[in-house]
Homo-oligomer: A and B are copies of this chain.
């Protein structure tokens, strides 16, 4: 029920064109996954996503575990059915969210104890429980519980934490029961190349279906993100998908694709949409600006999304300033379409051995 094939490698860069097959269909890679934190890609309906050509979304285990609860979703036929989405779903492990809770969580070898951000109730997430929750959700790709280490962190802390992440990964594999769900390991190691190398060595001994690189985009310098990101991708096995977690901006995606990554997720296009920032082929625009008051042009003149086919910047600006819900819907359709078009363009360039070329969009 899960396979990954590298169809083509770019001649100059490390970019690769791939085909990932899950129990819910094909995902052409490199691919961007819109984030559906609580079982909904904010402001989009499943048919909006289908129209955009989205093949896989991400949902957050932490949020769905707390509300409405994994059992509720399992009883209702799993997350796909619950949210009316027929494409593929990757669920994260909840690690990132739990570790973001700061003082509200405590890590032990067993797992992570935390208090809910919703009602303060106490919970324990173990590697086994995280697998169980994701099996209840029925996502196509599950992630192991890891510790997403904040930046900066001492070498000692990163070393100890990464060791635990590897032990948790082993426990996660043992806990797996579903044969229709892939499980990805996560590479940590902070900004230390030797710890990343060590983590890759340990993780790739284990029979994971793919590998994610975590702990980037957490406050480090851009140059570090790029260098550690590219370095780590180069260590990963060729035959399995590589997922760069939580990154990011269009320019980050282009760099990461050239470094050999296949999968991405980020809240940026959806979150920006709701605050009126639109990605366009001529650069980002903020729809609030007075210059758009009378502007009859679509957000992006080269875009074919529903928003750009039907609505002017003037109307979008009006909706935004008037606080209309439709602004969030149309902006999100546009931004997610922009990201998908970017990935499509990158796939085309790889096909033509031109992945190193500068894209004809302003970033």
Residues in A lying within 8 Å of B, measured CB to CB: 38-40, 42-47, 63, 67-68, 72, 75-77, 82-84, 293-294, 296, 306, 310-312, 314-315, 317-319, 321-322, 324-326, 328-330
Query: Do A67 and B330 form a contact, CB below 8 Å, given A294-B75, A324-B42?
Result: no
> What residues on B are CB-neighbors of A63 within 8 Å?
322
- A324 in contact with B75 (CB, 8 Å): no
Interface centre among A38, A63, A75, A315 (most CB of B within 10 A): A315
- Checking B67, B84, B312, B326 against A318 with a beta-carbon cut-off of 8 angstroms, the contacting residue is B67
- B321 in contact with A72 (CB, 8 Å): no
Interface centre among A43, A45, A77, A312 (most CB of B within 10 A): A45
A–B Cβ pairs within 8 angstroms, 20 of them? A38-B319, A38-B322, A39-B315, A39-B318, A39-B319, A40-B319, A42-B325, A43-B326, A44-B326, A45-B326, A45-B329, A67-B318, A68-B318, A76-B294, A76-B312, A82-B312, A82-B315, A84-B311, A325-B325, A325-B329
- Checking B39, B43, B46 against A325 with a beta-carbon cut-off of 8 angstroms, the contacting residue is B43
Distance (Å) between the CB of A40 and the closest chain B CB?
A: 5
- B315 in contact with A83 (CB, 8 Å): yes
Sample of 9 further A-B pairs with CB below 8 A, known A38-B319, A68-B293, A76-B315: A40-B319, A42-B324, A43-B325, A45-B306, A45-B329, A45-B330, A72-B318, A76-B312, A329-B329
CA distance A293 to B45 in the complex (A): 21
> What residues on B are CB-neighbors of A326 within 8 Å?
40, 42-45
- A67 in contact with B325 (CB, 8 Å): no
CA distance A330 to B67 in the complex (A): 19
CA distance A46 to B45 in the complex (A): 15
> What residues on B are CB-neighbors of A328 within 8 Å?
325
> What residues on B are CB-neighbors of A329 within 8 Å?
43, 45, 325, 329
> What residues on B are CB-neighbors of A322 within 8 Å?
38-40, 63, 67
- A84 in contact with B294 (CB, 8 Å): no
- Checking B43, B84, B306, B321 against A310 with a beta-carbon cut-off of 8 angstroms, the contacting residue is B84
CA distance A315 to B44 in the complex (A): 15
> What residues on B are CB-neighbors of A294 within 8 Å?
72, 75-76
Query: Do A72 and B40 form a contact, CB below 8 Å, given A45-B330, A67-B321, A330-B45?
Result: no
CA distance A38 to B315 in the complex (A): 11
- B325 in contact with A68 (CB, 8 Å): no
Distance (Å) between the CB of A209 and the closest chain B CB?
A: 28
- B84 in contact with A314 (CB, 8 Å): no
CA distance A72 to B314 in the complex (A): 9
> What residues on B are CB-neighbors of A315 within 8 Å?
39, 76, 82-84
> What residues on B are CB-neighbors of A82 within 8 Å?
312, 314-315, 318
> What residues on B are CB-neighbors of A67 within 8 Å?
318, 321-322
